[in-house]
């Protein structure tokens, strides 16, 4: 078990954090350490959900309501976690989801996260609202399989330019977020009047510095004000068809929670779906991603690559999602906790911990390889109810 020290990168006071040694054995360990490292406004931005945060908690609780049904007396002497997603060979079915403004967590920002994903044989998805540009991340992590998460702007020429930049920088797919015509009401951000600090910028937009996510309105956060002014709330599935025709890259829609939208994604030419509730940051009381997964898989699972993000923190979470039909899962906040702890090294260690946990889960469930995972190896807790 690797031990490493966490450096305080977001607070300027001297402390013993850089000297403390601790062993990290689960995502919760990284999360606890990150809570002591990050500035309050950044921490609140990363960890908060919409409304009363019911769905934020549900994303984790829903996984706990699914029971494992392991099979025994099977040869598990060799474990193989390799997979292929949209033509990309990966070491295992977990990637890093898009999260905004990662230099709030560590000065190395998105570059460190992308390099860590590459060293782990994973996919890294870069957010439109990043603090390193498409080109900077491409240079920082040339050997990582990278996808670009896209918001559609009112200025469609700006949207098209970003797609072209992603193509030129050798990104492998466009991940269109469809659940954010506006941003949800995140109460902590409003209370904190959250905005980027002056030394950071939205790197994908020339001429837009920290002021691009600031607001003089005390009733909102800077990021919400920026989104309201720039994002296109008129976006429809016809615009998805426009995007599919615009680029040679596969289009993955992120934010699908219903069979109806899954079917439309297929009809309008998408290559994949990420079942997601945006980290529970958009509209509260929607289902957990893992709850919505089965109906999406049933609707289009043989035609599109169905993936998931939201609430994944353990190896058995990955297993349960795959058993329910996902081909891959993504983590967002968890990677930020690793980044806050120790930059690239922190994310690499977090991914190592998660992969080891997943491999143990596979062996104890009686599976040598991913294709051994079947639907009958999980069950909702209600199946075990007794009168």
Cβ atoms within 10 Å, residue 323: 21
Give me the sign of the Cα torsion angle 123, 124, 128, 133: negative
> Helical H runs in 128-236?
134-140, 156-168, 187-192, 222-230
Verify whether residue 278 is a known catalytic residue.
yes
Q: At what angle do helices 289-300 and 259-267 cross, to 10 degrees?
A: 50
Q: What is the secondary structure of 34-67 as a DSSP string?
A: HHTTS-HHHHHHHH--STT-HHHHHHHHHHHTEE
Residue 209 has which token pair? 């510095």
User: Between vectors from CA 21 to CA 16 and to CA 25, what angle results, nearest 5°?
Assistant: 135
Look at residues 344, 296, 241, 257 and name the one whose alpha carbon lies nearest to residue 55: 257
With tokens 């353990």, the residue in question is 314
Phi, psi of 158 (to 5 degrees): -65, -40
- Considering the candidates 106, 199, 278, 380, report the single residue annotated as catalytic: 278
Cα 32 to Cα 172: distance, rounded to the nearest angstrom:
34
* Three-state DSSP class for residue 382: helix
Look at residues 303, 299, 308 and name the one whose alpha carbon lies nearest to residue 274: 308
Could you tell me if 316 and 68 are in contact, meaning their C-beta atoms sit under 8 angstroms apart?
yes
Q: 11-29: buried (b, 16+ CB within 10 Å) or exposed (e) per residue?
A: eeeeeebeeeeeebeebeb
Cβ atoms within 10 Å, residue 302: 9
Distance between the two ends of the chain, CA-based, in angstroms?
Answer: 45
Could you tell me if 51 and 362 are in contact, meaning their C-beta atoms sit under 8 angstroms apart?
no
Q: Please give the positions annotated as active site.
A: 278
């Amino acid at each position: 078990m690797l031990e490493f020290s966490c450096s305080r990168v977001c607070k300027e006071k001297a402390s013993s954090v850089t000297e403390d040694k601790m062993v990290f054995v689960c995502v919760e360990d990284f999360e606890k350490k990150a809570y002591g490292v990050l500035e309050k406004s950044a921490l609140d931005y990363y960890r908060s959900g919409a409304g009363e945060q019911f769905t934020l908690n549900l994303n984790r609780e829903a996984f706990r309501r699914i029971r494992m049904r392991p099979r025994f007396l099977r040869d598990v002497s060799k474990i193989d976690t390799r997979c292929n997603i949209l033509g990309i060979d990966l070491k295992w079915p977990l990637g890093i989801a898009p999260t905004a403004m990662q230099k709030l967590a560590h000065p190395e920002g998105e570059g460190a996260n992308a390099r860590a994903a590459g060293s782990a044989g994973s996919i890294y998805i870069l957010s439109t609202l990043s603090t390193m540009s498409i080109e900077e991340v491409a240079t920082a992590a040339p050997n990582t399989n990278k996808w670009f998460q896209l918001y559609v702007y009112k200025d469609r020429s700006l949207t098209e330019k970003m797609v072209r930049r992603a193509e030129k920088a050798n990104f492998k797919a466009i991940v269109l977020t469809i659940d954010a015509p506006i941003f949800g009401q995140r109460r902590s951000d409003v209370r904190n009047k959250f905005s980027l600090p002056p030394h950071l910028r939205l790197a994908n937009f020339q001429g837009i510095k920290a002021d691009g996510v600031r607001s003089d309105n005390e009733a909102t956060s800077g990021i919400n004000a920026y989104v309201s002014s720039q994002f296109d709330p008129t976006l429809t599935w016809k615009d998805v068809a426009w995007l599919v025709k615009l680029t040679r890259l596969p289009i993955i829609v992120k934010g699908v929670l219903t069979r109806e939208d899954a079917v439309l994604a297929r009809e309008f030419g998408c290559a994949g779906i990420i079942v997601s509730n945006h980290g529970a940051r958009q509209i509260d009381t929607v289902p957990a991603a893992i709850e919505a997964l089965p109906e999406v898989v049933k609707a289009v699972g043989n035609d599109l690559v169905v993936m998931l993000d939201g609430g994944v923190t353990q190896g058995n979470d990955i297993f349960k999602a795959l058993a329910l039909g996902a081909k891959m899962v993504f983590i967002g906040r968890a990677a930020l906790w690793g980044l806050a702890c120790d930059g690239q090294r922190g994310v690499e260690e977090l991914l190592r911990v998660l992969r080891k946990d997943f491999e143990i889960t596979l062996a104890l469930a009686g599976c040598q390889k991913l294709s051994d995972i079947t639907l009958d190896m999980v069950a909702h807790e209600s199946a075990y109810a007794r009168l």
